Amino acid sequence: MDPEAMDFPTPDATVESTTPRELKERIDAGEPVTLLDARMESDYEEWRIDGDTVESINIPYFEFLDEDIDDDVLASVPDDEHVTVLCAKGGASEYVAGALADRGYDVDHLADGMNGWASIYEPHEVTGYDGAGTLLQYQRPSSGCLGYFLYHDGEAAVIDPLRAFTDRYLDDADELGVELRYAFDTHVHADHVSGLRDLAAEGVEAVLPGPAADRGVTYTDEVTLTQDGDTFPVGEATIETVFTPGHTTGMTSYLVDEGFLATGDGLFIESVARPDLEEGDEGAPDAARTLYQSLQERVRTLPDETLIGGAHFSDAAAPASDGTYTATLGALDSRMDALSMDEDEFVDLVLSDMPPRPANYEDIIETNLGQREIDDEEAFTLELGPNNCAASQDALTGD
């Protein structure tokens, strides 16, 4: 039974709540945080809140349903420190926190649960960017999704927008006093629902890589299909299309004013792309070879000072001093062995340690192709969980 649909009894003790943003601020500040995750073990193992100072305990909610809670269960909950209880949406966690508060524990619960955590989406300025205008990196800590917002001289563009945050991009543009002129997708995403079509409906020019349309995109009349080398002005800045297939046949990077390369899922600051989400297991070796060629011929040929920013980050990634998940190409070249291997070694490495495929990835791909229509609630639910778009669960850097 779905615990969020259950009618839990009201605890005697008053239960305080904490917001997802408040919890993230504590984690970012390096405060010790103890979490009691009341979801089922399978959900917990797939996706949870982590951090260097986070102690996470998994005790499913049903262990707290009996009036006499098992002593071993209670002994697993620290009684000498503050504990934040969480679940999927906030209902079960409030009950569990109340049951513990009734027994003298110092607890609160996470309002809106992991759904609330997935609603956090924060902009950070990329201070290492030295082109025209200002570049922001949007970060979604729940899934590691990254997007980019460039603005200059009254105009703006967003790269890899998420449907769940369509209004956020428009509101941010209004607040900055700029017109959101373009929205770019780097490829047909498999881990989140794209905001491209929703922004197109708001009058933004939506740009999709031309080769991506060959996968069966149904809405080509709503978007601009870009070709390799196409350029788009944003104020005095320029965004140039750089085809970098491998992760997918349509995988495309965008070179922002010759100083920043938004690499989508082709290259991350701690790993490289997985090659199997479009081509499957049989086609993955050939796709890995295509990825190798893209990295060697289209990315590594750029100047070492080119700043790299992918569409995702993992727990293995360390942010730069400005808080963004970016690094210079020269730095990646020196610390990521995968970039300097020969082709056969690269293919073997990439195929050797691929994580599970993203949750619901086939449904998400169909949605992003326009072959499946879903409402906003289903779209948000589909993309909950880890992104798993990198080739390895561990960093491929030497850091």
pLDDT tens string 176-229: 999 999 999 999 999 999 999 999 999 999 999 999 999 999 999 999 999 999
Instruction: Please tell me the pTM assigned to this model.
Output: 0.92
Give pLDDT tens digits for 246-260.
999 999 999 999 999
> Do the Cβ atoms of 64 and 57 come closer than 8 Å?
no
The one catalytic residue among 15, 86, 87, 96 = 87
Biggest CA-to-CA distance, the chain: 68
Going edge to edge, which strands form the sheet with 231-234?
Answer: 231-234, 237-243, 252-256, 260-264, 307-310, 327-328
The mean of the pLDDT values for the chain is: 93
Classify 20 as helix, strand or coil. Answer: helix
As a whole-number percent, the residues of the chain with pLDDT over 70 amount to 95
Residue 316 has pLDDT above 90, yes or no: no
pLDDT value at position 224? 98
Classify 95 as helix, strand or coil. Answer: helix
Domains and CATH numbers, the chain: 3-117 (3.40.250.10), 122-382 (3.60.15.10)
Residue 76 has pLDDT above 90, yes or no: yes
Amino acid of residue 50: D
Instruction: Please name the residues in contact with 113: beta carbons below 8 A apart, sequence gap of 6 or more.
Output: 86, 87, 88, 89, 90, 91, 93
Q: How would you label 327-354 residue by residue, b for 16+ Cβ within 10 Å and e otherwise?
A: bbbebbeebbebbeeeeeebbebbbeeb
Residue 387 has pLDDT above 70, yes or no: yes
Give pLDDT tens digits for 41-67.
999 998 999 988 999 999 999 999 888
Residue 399 has pLDDT above 50, yes or no: no
As a whole-number percent, the residues of the chain with pLDDT over 90 amount to 84
> What span, in angstroms and rounded, lies between the C-alpha atoms of 283 and 285?
6
Q: Return the higher-pLDDT residue of 281 and 302.
A: 302
Instruction: Please name the residues in contact with 46: beta carbons below 8 A apart, sequence gap of 6 or more.
Output: 359, 385, 386
Based on the residue annotation, tell me whether 87 is a catalytic residue of this protein.
yes
